[in-house]
């Protein structure tokens, strides 16, 4: 389970401190798929970064006994001067996964082909997203953090993404930041609405979407 308790996140700009998240509380059980809803600036991406360990809370706690992915949609964490394959070797070593298994999956999933041997700094944003998404899925986490844009490329590749994350990993937990009501209604069984730094949890996703649309 992931348990978020009294989570607060503030950023300092000059002499002003802005509180983005204010006493946020929620749980995510194993196998639960939680939609994260909120207007621009509501703190959705900040929350995902905190859960993924990319930032630290100002106060409060995140208690977790599951392995969490880095945020899918985040593609800025690569070493740009290294090739895609060298970045894969680095990630495989960190997580103790056989490199050959990681490479085979990422090559199949990303469809980057010979570009995997090129420096990542030469990739387009879409290519970096494919590499990041493929690497996340290759590691096999208990819970996936998906921030906004997860489907890149053409419709055929969109179907591959959906199959990998929503069907083949249907038993995994998920936090999904998205504005796509169809995806959220189809794949999520709960929702977290962020507004004014505060959070409210709903078991009824359509109701959460109605609340979100009224904000």
CATH of the domain at 193: 3.40.50.300
- With beta carbons less than 8 A apart as the criterion, state whether 32 and 191 touch: no
pLDDT for the residue numbered 215: 87
For residue 194, name the pLDDT band (cuts at 50, 70, 90). very high
Give CA–CA dist 107/96, Å, rounded. Answer: 19
pLDDT for the residue numbered 71: 82
Give mean pLDDT, residues 188-194: 96
Domain presence at residue 57:
yes
**Nearest alpha-carbon partner for 137 in 112, 165, 174:** 165
Domain presence at residue 39:
yes
pLDDT surpassing 90 at residue 70 = no
Tokens of 109: 């999933």
Give CA–CA dist 48/63, Å, rounded. Answer: 14
- With beta carbons less than 8 A apart as the criterion, state whether 72 and 145 touch: yes
Give CA–CA dist 214/141, Å, rounded. Answer: 34
When mean pLDDT is compared across 61-70, 77-86, 142-151, 173-182, the lowest value belongs to: 142-151
pLDDT for the residue numbered 77: 67
Give CA–CA dist 162/182, Å, rounded. Answer: 13
Domain presence at residue 165:
no
For residue 73, name the pLDDT band (cuts at 50, 70, 90). low
Give mean pLDDT, residues 19-33: 95
Domain presence at residue 211:
yes
CA atoms within 13 A of residue 152's CA, in its CB half-sphere: 23
Domain presence at residue 118:
no
For residue 189, name the pLDDT band (cuts at 50, 70, 90). very high
Domain presence at residue 38:
yes
Q: pTM for this structure? A: 0.86
Domain presence at residue 127:
no
What digits encode the pLDDT tens for the residues 111-170?
999 999 999 999 988 888 888 888 888 988 999 998 765 556 667 877 888 888 888 999
When divided into structural domains, the chain yields a total of 1
Q: Where are the beta strands (DSSP E) in 14-48?
A: 16-28, 33-37
Domain presence at residue 3:
yes
Domain extent, residue 60, equals 1-69+175-215
């Amino acid at each position: 389970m992931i348990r978020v308790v009294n989570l607060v996140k503030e950023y300092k700009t000059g002499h002003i401190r802005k509180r983005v998240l204010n006493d946020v509380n929620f749980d995510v059980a194993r196998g639960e798929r939680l939609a994260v809803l909120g207007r621009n600036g509501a703190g959705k991406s900040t929350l995902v970064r905190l859960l993924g360990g990319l930032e630290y809370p100002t106060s409060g706690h995140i208690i977790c006994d599951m392995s969490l992915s880095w945020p899918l949609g985040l593609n800025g964490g690569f070493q740009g001067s290294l090739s895609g394959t060298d970045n894969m070797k680095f990630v495989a070593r960190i997580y103790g996964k056989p490199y050959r298994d990681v490479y085979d999956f990422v090559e199949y999933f990303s469809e980057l082909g010979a570009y995997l041997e090129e420096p990542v700094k030469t990739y387009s944003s879409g290519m970096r997203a494919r590499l990041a998404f493929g690497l996340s899925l290759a590691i096999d986490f208990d819970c996936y953090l998906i921030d906004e844009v997860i489907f890149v490329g053409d419709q055929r590749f969109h179907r591959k993404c959906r199959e990998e994350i929503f069907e083949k990993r249907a038993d995994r937990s998920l936090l999904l930041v998205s504005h796509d009501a169809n995806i959220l209604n189809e794949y999520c069984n709960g929702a977290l609405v962020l507004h004014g730094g505060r959070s409210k949890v709903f078991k009824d996703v359509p109701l959460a979407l109605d609340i979100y649309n009224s904000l």
